[in-house]
Amino acid sequence: MLKDITVLALCLNAALAGAKEAPDWITPLRDAFYGENADAAYISRLGGEVEDRAKLELSGTELYNTLSYCEFLIAKAYMSEKKEDEAERRFEQGFDYADRSVKDNPTSDGYRMMAENIAQLCTLRSTVWVMANGLKVERFAERGLEYDKRNGACAILIASRWVYAPAPFHNIRKGIDEMKKILSGSYDLGRDDYFNVYYAIAYAYNRNKQPSEMESWLEKALAVYPVNKDALNLKQGVARAVGFADSSDTHYND
């Protein structure tokens, strides 16, 4: 098993070398959230520092997209600690930045961030709100792919619906297939994108009560971020949906 994980890590590093990565000064924020289990207060401080630098060095669409991404990660950190009011406020701000970005100059990343923030707001708001806004996630992600067909994060958002949505709106088999197509396609994928795909497939197999398949994909996720809390919790039998439509803790292995 150790040999297999080592080989996997080497292959992953080679793949990541040619993948789309965030600017060097944004990467620590991303990796602190996904890979260090940092608390929300730390993520918020680090995100604030990145936002301050972005305001000094960037402008226009690039600035708004960066600010949206920072707010999105900060909000996710608060949501993981069940501080839902602060998470909702941050997701709203993240969406507003992305909306300003698209209005200033439509781009793939702008639409991606609109979709990301709405997807998470769907986990926090009423059923009525979700019914009115949930389909915008896929719509915005598809617009993102129209502007850049290689945007892997947009493809992940579209596939996530089938994995994470509650019954009867999910389709686990379709979700697994769509996620695997992303890995075999010509998408640009960053480190967090690889993790999100691997985790989604593991989560889907777990939801479908296929533990052996779940374990193999979970090891791939842990090869990317070895101490990621969600991945480690899934390994212990606590599956948390990290994508569209459902953020509740659910025990599927009991």
Q: What is the pLDDT of residue 24?
A: 81
User: Apex CA 13: angle with CA 111 and CA 187, to 5°?
Assistant: 30
Cis? peptide before 106, omega within 30° of 0: no
The mean pLDDT value of the chain amounts to: 88
d(CA 96, CA 117): 9
3-state SS string for 169-233: CCCHHHHHHHHHHHHHCCCECCHHHHHHHHHHHHHHHHHCCCHHHHHHHHHHHHHHCCCCHHHHH
Q: What is the pLDDT of residue 37?
A: 80
Q: Do 203 and 241 touch, CB atoms closer than 8 A? A: yes
Q: What is the pLDDT of residue 10?
A: 42
Q: What is the pLDDT of residue 165?
A: 85
The DSSP bridge partners found for residue 239 are: 250
Q: What is the pLDDT of residue 18?
A: 38
Q: What is the pLDDT of residue 25?
A: 85
User: Apex CA 90: angle with CA 89 and CA 92, to 5°?
Assistant: 65
Q: What is the pLDDT of residue 245?
A: 45
d(CA 79, CA 65): 21
Write down the domain spans for the chain: 2-250
CATH number for the domain whose boundaries are 2-250? 1.25.40.10
Q: What is the pLDDT of residue 22?
A: 53
Q: What is the pLDDT of residue 20?
A: 45
Low-confidence ranges of the chain (pLDDT < 50): 1-21, 245-254
Strands (E), 126-165: none
Start-to-end Cα distance in the chain: 25
Q: What is the pLDDT of residue 223?
A: 97
